[in-house]
């Protein structure tokens, strides 16, 4: 384990981790990120957001390390201005997801490419709201056939918990289990990515790209879509408001995200492993 800041990669989720519950960036988080990076450390973000949405938060921090988008489906290098990794849902997978969507009247479907959001029908409340919150580019597709194909980094189903439970079971059956990975990002939101795509695998790809040893990787998050990231990094840390079973997976639990969880995360890693 290295004592050099430049040998370390620290990664943070955004919603409920970097930002507080009102989607604001606590001042102490920004201050500690700046100090860590100026000392030579590598800090970046890993989020379910697409690039357009991720950029809003990334650009506030004064960092340069490539960032992970769409829950691990993509990695974007801001220095070269290129996607260095992008793993999309297959054509077969698209057909299965559209078939599922067609069978549930109250279900919302939002399709995320790395740079745009597509809303299946004008009744897609979830996708519309998240697009408006950050003033993101979006497109209504009134017919399923109007949805662009071949660039699905992830999709999100928004619906009743009972409906999502049925869908999750179908996605994990023997016919579909090799096509997808899926996880909850809230009790009413089920996200689907290509098989093997997750934050954890993306973090290790990024560490390899940067030449950083896995022993010097640490991540902080707050919910079940961070589980794979916690499993793959050497030092998993979660926020104080995380579910109890998430806390049990982590070596340290910070304060609530409203009080500067990322600042505490950085201080913890520094004091225990670097200084």
Q: What is the pLDDT of residues 234-269, one digit of tens each?
A: 999 999 999 999 999 999 999 999 999 999 999 999
Determine the average pLDDT of the residues in 69-82: 94
**CATH 3.40.50.1000 domain span(s) along the chain:** 5-86+198-274
Q: Which residue has the tokens 């290098």?
A: 77
| CATH class label, 5-86+198-274 | alpha beta
pTM higher than 0.85, yes or no?
yes
Task: Please enumerate in sequence order all residues whose Cβ is within 8 A of that of 49, keeping only pairs 6 or more positions apart, or say none.
Answer: 14, 57, 69, 70
- Rounded to 5 degrees, what are φ and ψ at 74? -140, 150
pLDDT over 80 (residue 147): yes
125 pLDDT more than 80: no
User: Which pLDDT score is estimated for 122?
Assistant: 64
For the segment 19-43, the average pLDDT, to the nearest whole number, is 97
Q: For residue 152, how far is the Cα from the chain centroid?
A: 15
* pLDDT at residue 164, as a whole number: 98
Name the segment(s) of the chain with CATH classification 3.30.1240.10: 91-194
Q: Mean pLDDT, the chain, as a whole number?
A: 94
CATH assignment, 91-194: 3.30.1240.10
Give the model confidence (pLDDT) of 36-62 as tens digits: 999 999 999 999 999 999 999 999 999
Q: What is the arithmetic mean of pLDDT over 157-162? A: 95
């Amino acid at each position: 384990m290295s004592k050099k800041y430049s040998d370390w990669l620290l990664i943070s989720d955004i919603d409920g981790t970097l930002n507080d519950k009102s989607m604001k960036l606590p001042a102490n988080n920004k201050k500690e990120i700046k100090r860590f990076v100026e000392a030579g450390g590598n800090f970046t973000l890993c989020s379910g957001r697409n690039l357009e949405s991720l950029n809003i938060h990334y650009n506030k921090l004064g960092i340069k390390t490539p960032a992970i988008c769409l829950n691990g489906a993509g990695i974007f290098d801001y220095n070269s201005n290129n996607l260095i990794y992008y793993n999309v849902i297959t054509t077969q997978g698209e057909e299965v997801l559209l078939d599922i969507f067609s069978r549930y009247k109250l279900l919302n479907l939002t399709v995320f490419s790395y740079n745009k959001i597509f809303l299946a029908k004008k009744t897609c409340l979830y996708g519309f709201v998240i697009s408006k919150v950050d003033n993101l580019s979006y497109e209504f597709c009134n017919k399923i056939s109007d949805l662009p194909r071949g660039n699905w980094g992830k999709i999100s189903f928004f619906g009743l918990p009972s409906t999502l439970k049925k869908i999750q079971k179908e996605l994990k059956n023997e016919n579909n289990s090799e096509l997808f990975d899926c996880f909850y990002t809230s009790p009413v939101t089920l996200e689907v990515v290509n098989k093997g795509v997750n934050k954890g695998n993306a973090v290790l790809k990024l560490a390899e790209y940067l030449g950083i040893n896995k022993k010097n990787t640490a991540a902080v998050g707050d919910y079940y879509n961070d589980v794979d990231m916690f499993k793959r990094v050497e030092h998993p840390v979660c926020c104080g408001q995380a579910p109890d079973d998430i806390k049990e997976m982590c070596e340290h639990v910070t304060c609530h995200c409203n009080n500067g969880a990322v600042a505490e995360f950085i201080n913890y890693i520094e004091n225990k492993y670097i200084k």
